């Protein structure tokens, strides 16, 4: 198969939603269709022993939430599909934002009963800023929920989307009969008392045919005809170009837990979703079909396999082919590196791959060379940007709870910070270490992982900080900056890269500092260089 054909057959996408909308369940069902797994893990309930295939950190299994992005791949109808299943919980949003730099399109999952929720709004906003094509999947139709038209209105008003339904539910909850697939013009029936079996899909071109009553009953048939008439009158026809530009969003309805409406979503997705797209670096825009390899690290994960202290850097291939044992330039370090065992993923299973194409995600064993945002090329100096470190909102001193394990604790903190789980600040005054996170739940994850992956115990103490601001002086030698450093000494720290950070204890204190030292700039994102 030629290089261009390999690119055309790839689909790399992320699944985003508010927690509990059924995102991980949908991921599993997509894998089932791809034949990648034989049975799905029930993720609905934390107590069930089988956990979702895409949740492979022990703490995820216990809490029933995803805290790290999983990478999963499978083949379906001759298309190579790469799914990035992202955490829905807002405390892990930073991981999700970074992952969105590595996807070519997105599926947004919405709970039929709860509608559009806060976390969905934030994530969709990021996708809209980047013009990422989005498909919406309205989930849990086997439960009582909001009216389909109310949900479509909500998507338009709260998320600012321009939607067009490509399927429509026949009833809902207790009266749920099935789905009319507008895109393929057929009916998919939800059958039996258990509501677990799917009957064959019935091709149905003409909804005005009296045959419809025989299939779904008089009341449901009348309702479906009225609804479809309204859909045709109110919503625009599906336009693939508009979808690819990020200005129109198709909507599907279904129930992931019951495997209902998922095949329709997947079939349409592989047909309309974009193959790998170009990506803008600081120097220029890089097209996927360029012959020379370039890629960037969007995630680092330590200890994916607790038996081996391995650390993997996840690289999204942007252009060219990535080949095993071929030297590539690590742009930041300006040195060539070879990789003897690049991994492709299927949840917990990893396999060594000889060649990877644009759109693929490759896991590289890392001994500490990589940081998030690093670029690999065949020699060209490229810098892919847009993977920021956000200013944390929660801060705590971290203390060693077991003096015998100081070395393990330092190694653990070091590696977890490289993953981007949180940020580490070392106070200038006394050298104490402070951890800053975007969400409070991350402290629990860090404590758990330090103990179970590194054999180290830590305890926390509150540290009252309002904001961490990266400091950029107009001139490091001028008197104003020296005075700032002297006066604010106990609020100054260095981050992991050695950059100076001002830990403001209140909004008022930050404003007063900004007024008093106008030549010093304060940034809320670390990527200001």
Q: What are phi and psi of 64, to 5 degrees?
A: 70, 20
CA distance 74 to 78: 10
Spell out the per-residue pLDDT of the chain, length 529, in tens: 788 889 999 998 888 887 777 777 888 888 777 665 555 443 333 333 344 544 444 544 454 444 344 677 888 888 888 888 665 445 445 666 777 788 899 999 999 888 888 878 878 887 887 788 999 999 988 888 888 899 999 999 988 899 999 988 887 777 778 888 888 887 777 764 434 444 556 766 677 777 777 777 788 888 888 888 888 888 999 999 999 998 999 999 988 888 788 888 898 998 999 999 888 888 888 999 999 999 998 888 765 555 555 678 889 999 999 999 999 999 988 999 999 888 887 545 677 888 999 999 888 888 778 888 889 999 888 888 755 556 677 899 999 988 888 898 988 888 788 777 788 999 998 889 999 887 777 788 888 888 887 889 999 999 888 888 888 888 888 888 989 999 998 899 998 888 899 998 888 888 899 899 988 888 876 654 4
Which domains, and CATH codes, for the chain? 3-174+236-272 (3.40.50.300), 279-377 (2.40.30.10), 394-523 (3.30.70.3280)
Per-residue pLDDT at 397 = 92
Q: Determine the Cα–Cα distance for residues 45 and 61; give it in Å rounded to an integer.
A: 10
Q: Which residue has the tokens 């022990």?
A: 58
Feature table: binding site: 17-24, 85-89, 139-142
For position 90, what pLDDT does the model report? 52
Query: What is residue 427's predicted lDDT score, i.e. its pLDDT?
Result: 92
The whole-number pLDDT of residue 175 equals: 77
| One-letter-per-residue 3-state SS of 129-152 | HCCCCEEEEEECCCCCCCCHHHHH
Alpha-carbon span 123 to 130, nearest angstrom: 11
| Nearest CA among 251, 266, 328 for reference residue 293 | 328
- Those residues whose C-beta lies under 8 Å from the C-beta of residue 424, and which sit 6 or more positions away, are 413, 417, 433, 434, 435, 436, 495, 496
* CA angle centred on 23, ends 20 and 29, rounded to 5°: 130
pLDDT for 55: 46
**From the CB of residue 352, how many other CB atoms can be counted at a distance below 10 Å?**
12
What is the pTM assigned to this prediction?
0.73
Looking at residue 102, what is its pLDDT? 84
Give the tokens for residue 106: 């997105």
Binding residues for GTP are 17-24, 85-89, 139-142
Phi/psi region, residue 320 (left: phi>0; alpha: psi -120 to 50; beta: rest), is left
DSSP for 264-279, written as a single string = HHHHHHHHHS--SPPE
224 vs 238: CA distance, rounded Å: 19
């Amino acid at each position: 198969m030629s290089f261009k054909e390999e690119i055309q057959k790839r689909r790399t996408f992320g699944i985003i939603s508010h927690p509990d909308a059924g995102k991980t369940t949908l991921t599993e069902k997509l894998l089932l269709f791809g034949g990648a797994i034989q049975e799905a893990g029930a993720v609905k309930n934390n107590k069930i022993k089988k956990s979702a295939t895409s949740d492979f950190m022990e703490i995820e299994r216990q809490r029933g939430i995803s805290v790290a992005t999983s990478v999963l791949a499978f083949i379906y109808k001759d298309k190579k599909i790469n799914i990035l299943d992202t955490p829905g919980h807002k405390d892990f949003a930073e991981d999700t934002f970074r992952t969105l730099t590595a996807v070519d399109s997105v599926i947004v999952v919405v709970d039929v009963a709860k509608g559009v929720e806060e976390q969905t709004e934030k994530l969709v906003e990021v996708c809209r800023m980047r013009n990422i094509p989005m498909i919406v999947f309205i989930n849990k139709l086997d439960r009582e929920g909001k009216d389909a038209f109310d949900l479509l209105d909500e998507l338009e008003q709260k998320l600012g989307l321009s939607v067009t339904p490509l399927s429509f539910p026949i009833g809902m909850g207790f009266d749920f009969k099935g789905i009319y697939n507008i895109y393929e013009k057929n009916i998919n029936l939800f059958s039996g008392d258990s509501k677990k079996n799917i009957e064959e899909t019935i091709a149905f071109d003409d909804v005005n045919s009296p045959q419809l009553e025989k299939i779904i009953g008089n009341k449901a048939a009348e309702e479906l005809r009225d609804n479809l008439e309204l859909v045709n009158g109110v919503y625009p026809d599906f336009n693939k170009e508009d979808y690819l530009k990020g200005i129109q969003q198709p909507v599907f309805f279904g129930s992931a837990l019951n495997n209902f409406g998922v095949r329709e979503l997947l079939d349409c997705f592989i047909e309309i979703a974009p193959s790998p797209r170009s990506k803008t670096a600081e120097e220029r825009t890089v097209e996927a079909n360029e012959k020379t390899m370039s890629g960037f690290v969007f995630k680092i994960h330590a200890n994916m396999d607790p038996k081996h202290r391995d650390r993997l850097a996840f690289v999204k291939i942007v252009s060219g082919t990535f080949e095993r044992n071929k030297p590539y330039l690590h742009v930041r370090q300006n040195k060539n590196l070879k990789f003897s065992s690049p991994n492709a993923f299927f949840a917990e299973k990893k396999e060594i791959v000889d060649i990877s194409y644009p759109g693929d995600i490759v896991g590289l064993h890392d001994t500490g060379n990589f940081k998030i945002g690093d670029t690999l090329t065949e020699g060209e100096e490229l810098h892919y940007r847009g993977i920021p470190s956000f200013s944390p909102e929660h801060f705590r001193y971290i203390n060693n709870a077991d003096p015998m394990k100081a070395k393990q604790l330092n190694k653990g903190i070091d590696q977890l910070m490289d993953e981007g789980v949180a940020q580490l600040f070392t106070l200038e005054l006394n050298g104490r270490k402070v951890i800053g996170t975007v969400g409070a739940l991350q402290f629990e994850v860090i404590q758990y992982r330090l103990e179970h992956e590194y054999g180290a115990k830590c305890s926390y103490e509150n540290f009252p900080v309002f904001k961490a601001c990266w400091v950029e002086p107009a001139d490091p030698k001028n008197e104003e900056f020296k005075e700032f450093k002297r006066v604010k000494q106990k609020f100054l720290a260095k981050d992991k890269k050695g950059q100076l950070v001002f830990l403001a204890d209140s909004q008022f204190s930050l404003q007063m500092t900004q007024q008093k030292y106008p030549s010093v700039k304060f940034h809320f994102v670390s990527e200001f260089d």
